Amino acid sequence: MPELPEVTVISEDLEALAAGKEVVRAGIFRDDVSNAGVAGFPAKLLGKTLERTGRRGKIITLDFGEVVGLVHLVISGRVVQLPAWQEPDKINTAIVEFDGGPILAFTKLWLGYFDLYEPERVGEHPLISRLGPDPFSEGFTVEYLMDAFKRKASIKGLLLDQSIVAGLGNIYVDEVLFAAGVHPMRKANSLDFAEIERIYSATREILHEAIELRGTTFDSYHDAFGETGKYQHRLKVFTRAGEPCPVCGTRIQKSRVAGRGTHACSTCQPV
């Protein structure tokens, strides 16, 4: 699933490709791809100009002035450029053509969506309404985390919870906790100030570096230009089960925490 860095890259790509351009054709495959429905989707977008793009958690925002597109790629969705207009189908689930190009297809939105909201109602979107602070926002502070972590839940479970921090997923949570020297199974309320401070710093540093390297690609994620990310080469524990820890040489262990495959070094991250 694209996490904060990948969604940031795609959002910035879309602005580079289409900002200032007017929508001349648009369609979705089925009613369940967008809250606007098959008929409402083009009706709301035709003639609108993409002003800017952004991100809320893992949702791409496309600001068309009177209407805002909220795109959630969820697991396997991608944004690709089509050589020519075609009718939306099972793979190219939503398509938007801009005057003079590009023709953007939002693929495989089977669990995802391309919703259309009035700008003043974006905050009411069911996912956006419960997002916690973004890691790059002013609300994301050590003090905020100290308060949010006053719970018995595993630290991994809390960092995955979008209502605690917006944008993190399985890959970056494992990497952040390794960098912070905190085992993913640790109860959040057992962490001391120094550990929380390290989680705070590692979150910003790792996400920043991953954006610089244009995200992590395993299979489905590509940016809007079709290129893969490079951060997979920097991963220290994620998908490295059985390999030596880059810090101490202990074998990286894979376990299940908060229902997700989890990678950690038992020496650098004592339980």
DSSP three-state, residue 43: helix
Is 251 in the active site? no
- Is 182 within 8 Å of 268 (Cβ atoms)? no
Q: Of the residues 44, 58, 108, 236, which is catalytic?
A: 58
Is 135 in the active site? no
182 binds Zn ion (CB under 5 A): no
Is 260 in the active site? yes
177 binds Zn ion (CB under 5 A): no
Give Cα 82 to chain centroid, integer Å.
23
80 Cβ partners below 8 Å, 6+ apart?
92, 104, 105, 107, 222, 224, 226
For residue 155, CA distances in Å to 146, 152, 213 come to 12, 9, 26
Is 2 in the active site? yes
Residues 217-246 within binding reach of Zn ion (CB under 5 A): 245
Question: Which token pair is 203?
Answer: 């979150």
210 binds Zn ion (CB under 5 A): no
Shortest spacing between CB 243 and Zn ion, in angstroms:
11
Q: Of the residues 25, 52, 187, 260, which is catalytic?
A: 260
Give Cα 8 to chain centroid, integer Å.
7
Among 247, 256, 259, 261, binds Zn ion (CB under 5 A): 247
248 binds Zn ion (CB under 5 A): yes
10 binds Zn ion (CB under 5 A): no
**Contact footprint for Zn ion (CB under 5 A):** 245, 247-248, 250, 265, 267-268
